[in-house]
Amino acid sequence: MKIILFLLLFSTIPLLGNAQQAQIYKPEADVSKAIAQGLAKAKSQHKHLLLQIGGNWCPWCVKFHTYCSEEREIKTVLDANYIYLLVNYSKENRNLPELKKLDYPQRFGFPVFVILDENGKRIHTQNSAYLEEGEGYSKKKIIDFLKAWTTDALKPEHYKEK
């Protein structure tokens, strides 16, 4: 019995370490202030604001953030076109007043992505399930999603009749 307890205790230590490292969302953050600052930065850089809504409790949320931070091509597209902000949704702080302003994106599950133009207008909400592939995310699907909503992609002159 002691051996079983010993094995159970020590087999969970790596999991506890990973859970502590995965604290990318900040439940205590003032999301209204963070969004306002993000929009100011987006406006000054002529970018859109990409909100990733989720929580530290969500393995897919952490997985997406980690993947985009480590995958060079995705990070390049993201950094060139967006100000990227994590918005917490957890039992500690659901940020419901802000999510109401964003037309309740949590209805799609987590993570969910909301893109705001530089003036704060919501231009797209993305269900993350469409970016998945197998046990993770698809690099191509993420890049296609990001490129489809850049400021350049939405310029009317690209769509004039010839």
DSSP annotation string for 11-74? HSHHHHHHHHHT--S-TTS-HHHHHHHHHHHHHHHT-EEEEEEE-TT-HHHHHHHHHHHH-HHH
CATH number at residue 40: 3.40.30.10
Structural domain includes residue 115: yes
Dump pLDDT digits (tens) for 7-39. 444 444 444 444 455 699 999 999 999 999 999
Structural domain includes residue 74: yes
pLDDT value of position 162:
76
Q: What is the pTM of this model?
A: 0.86
Dump pLDDT digits (tens) for 138-162. 999 999 999 999 999 999 999 998 7
Q: Does the structure show a pLDDT above 90 at 68?
A: yes
Structural domain includes residue 161: no
Structural domain includes residue 2: no
pLDDT value of position 13:
43
Structural domain includes residue 59: yes
Structural domain includes residue 9: no
Dump pLDDT digits (tens) for 82-103. 999 999 999 999 999 999 999 9
Give the chain's domain count: 1
Domain that holds residue 65: 24-151
Q: Does the structure show a pLDDT above 80 at 3?
A: no
Give 114-159 as a 3 state SS string: EEECCCCCEEEEEEHHHHEECCEECHHHHHHHHHHCCCCCCCHHHH
| Pairwise CA distance, residues 18 & 134, whole Å | 22
